[in-house]
């Protein structure tokens, strides 16, 4: 398993390189540059800025310079937020996104699986329908609607939680975590339910039941393990997306994470910032996929590491 993981990590290096190269060149195809923000800039000033950020060099030379920097863990300066380097922005923002995303995924996994099992065991009963209804709401109502609604209810009407802001207190974290977890709860519960129903019909579960193993044990030991396979496959990429932050949730709740940098960095043509978050995101997706594969190997005896 260790050898497998190491092989996969080494195999990820060319993938990352291709990702870096494609993002670097494609980004520069977009019209406008980082400093076309103020029309009042004279040519001399634009020349000064381009020179300071080496934008006056040929693109391949800029690419070489960028790769060289990356080897030294230097993501370059942010062109929009000139007081910070991209590394500093990520060091400030990523732990916040990671924290919110991590707890949102824990919440989503626990609640989602519980709802899914409840639905599968009491199929077409009241529990199943209400779990289904919650799931549909979670999928159908976008976060930019549910977020402000929760702000109005818990922040303004009840006054229990702050509307927005990030002061490090637990209270400030509750709403964003819940909002981020909701769509995931929905998907996970639906996946669990479907896969659980299917697993309960399989031969090995029937055999286990026929051998006289108690219903509870069959469900928790035998069926659930099997039913978790599609859920685990979903959890990998979903976790990668969630821990790198959501631009909508971060803007609505004023969370200083990195989710907004994808959108803002691109809109401002802040090339180093977009590169930085793309590489981080790419790295996390690759890592999540490796973890998922390892986890599947543990759950599913049919998967081999060879």
Partner 1 sequence: MGTLFARGLGAVLLSAVILATATVATPASAEMVINRGFGSSPDTLDPHLNFGAREGWIQDDMYEGLVASDAKAEIGPGAAEKWEVSDDGLTWTFHLRDGLKWSNGDPLVAQDFVNGVIRQLDPKTASPRAYYYYSTVKVAGAAEFNEAEGGDPKSVGISAPDEKTVVIKLLAPQPNMLYLMGSYHIPPLHTPSFEKVGGDFIKPENIVNNGPYMMKENVPQSHVTLVKNPNYWDAANVKADKVVYHVTEDDQTELKRFKAGELHVTNEVPSDQLEQLKKEYGEQLRITTYVEAQYLSFNITKAPFDDIRVRKALAYAIDRDVLQNKILKAGYQPNCGYSPPNDPRYPQPHVEECDMPKEERIAKAKALLQEAGFGPDKPLKVTIDSTTDNTAKRQAEGVALMWKQIGVDAKVNAQEFQAWMDTFYNGGWEVLNDNLVADMPGPESHVVYMQPSAESGYNWKNDDYEAAMEKASQQSDIAERYKYLAEAEKILLDYYLTVPLNVTTSRHLVSPKLKGWEDNMLDVHPSKYMWIEG
User: Closer CB to partner 1, residue 187 or residue 271?
Assistant: 271
Using the contact rule CB under 8 A, the part of the chain among 31-39, 197-205, 222-230, 235-243 near partner 1 is 31-39
* Dist. CA 195–CA 231, nearest whole Å: 8
Closest CA to 140 of 188, 186, 190, 192: 186
- Contact indicator for 103, 173 with CB cutoff of 8 Å: yes
* Residue 38 interacting with partner 1 (CB under 8 A): yes
Residue 230-269 contact track with partner 1, rule CB under 8 A, x = bound: --------------------xxxxxxxx--x------xxx
* Residue 67 interacting with partner 1 (CB under 8 A): no
* Residue 80 interacting with partner 1 (CB under 8 A): yes
What sign results for the dihedral spanned by CA atoms 7, 8, 11, 16?
Answer: negative
Q: Of these, 69, 155, 194, 237, which contacts partner 1 (CB under 8 A)?
A: 155
Q: How far is the CB of 221 from partner 1 (least distance, A)?
A: 46
- Contact indicator for 88, 76 with CB cutoff of 8 Å: no
Using the contact rule CB under 8 A, the part of the chain among 86-94, 121-129, 173-181, 295-303 near partner 1 is 86-94
* Residue 38 tokens, joined: 């103020």
Q: How far is the CB of 147 from partner 1 (least distance, A)?
A: 9
* Residue 158 interacting with partner 1 (CB under 8 A): no
- Contact indicator for 255, 100 with CB cutoff of 8 Å: yes
* Residue 276 interacting with partner 1 (CB under 8 A): no
- Contact indicator for 33, 269 with CB cutoff of 8 Å: yes
- Contact indicator for 24, 66 with CB cutoff of 8 Å: yes
Question: Rounded to the nearest 5°, which phi and psi values hold at 58?
Answer: -60, 150
CB neighbours of residue 208 within 10 Å: 17
Look-up of token digits 């065991």:
121
* Residue 149 interacting with partner 1 (CB under 8 A): no
* Dist. CA 115–CA 205, nearest whole Å: 21
Map the footprint of partner 1 across residues 107-136, applying CB under 8 A: none
- Binning the chain into helix, strand and coil, the percentages to the nearest 5 are 75, 0, 25
Q: How far is the CB of 75 from partner 1 (least distance, A)?
A: 14
User: Closer CB to partner 1, residue 234 or residue 253?
Assistant: 253
Applying CB under 8 A, the site for partner 1 has a residue count of 52
Q: Of these, 58, 60, 82, 212, which contacts partner 1 (CB under 8 A)?
A: 82
| Site for partner 1, rule CB under 8 A | 30-33, 35-45, 48-49, 51-53, 80-84, 88-89, 92-93, 148, 151-152, 155-156, 159, 162-166, 250-257, 260, 267-269
């Amino acid at each position: 398993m260790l050898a497998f993981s190491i092989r996969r990590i080494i195999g990820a290096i060319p993938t990352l390189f291709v990702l870096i190269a494609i993002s670097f060149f494609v980004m520069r195809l977009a019209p406008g540059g980082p400093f076309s923000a103020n029309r009042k800039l004279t040519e001399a000033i634009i020349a000064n800025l381009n020179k300071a950020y080496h934008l006056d060099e040929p693109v391949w030379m800029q690419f070489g310079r960028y790769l060289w920097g990356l080897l030294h863990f230097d993501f370059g300066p942010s062109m929009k937020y000139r007081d910070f380097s991209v590394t500093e922005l990520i060091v400030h923002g990523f732990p916040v996104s990671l924290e919110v995303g991590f707890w949102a995924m824990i919440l989503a996994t626990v609640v989602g699986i519980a709802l899914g099992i409840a639905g599968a065991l009491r199929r077409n009963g009241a529990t199943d329908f209400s779990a289904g209804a919650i799931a549909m709401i979670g999928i159908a109502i976008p976060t930019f609607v549910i977020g402000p609604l929760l702000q109005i209810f818990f922040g303004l009407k009840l006054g229990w939680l702050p509307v927005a802001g990030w002061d490090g207190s637990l209270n400030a974290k509750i709403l964003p975590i819940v909002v981020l977890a909701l769509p995931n709860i929905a998907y996970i519960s639906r996946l669990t339910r479907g896969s659980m129903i299917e697993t309960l019909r399989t031969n090995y579960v029937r055999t286990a039941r026929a051998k006289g193993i108690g219903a509870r044990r069959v469900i928790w030991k035998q069926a659930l393990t099997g039913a978790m396979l599609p859920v685990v496959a979903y959890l990998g990429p979903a976790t990668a997306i969630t821990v790198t932050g959501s631009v909508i949730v971060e803007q609505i709740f004023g969370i200083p994470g990195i989710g907004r940098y994808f959108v803002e960095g691109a809109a401002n043509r802040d090339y180093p910032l977009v590169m930085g978050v793309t590489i981080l995101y790419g790295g996390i997706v690759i890592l999540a996929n490796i973890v998922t594969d390892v986890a599947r190997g543990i759950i599913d005896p049919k998967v081999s590491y060879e």
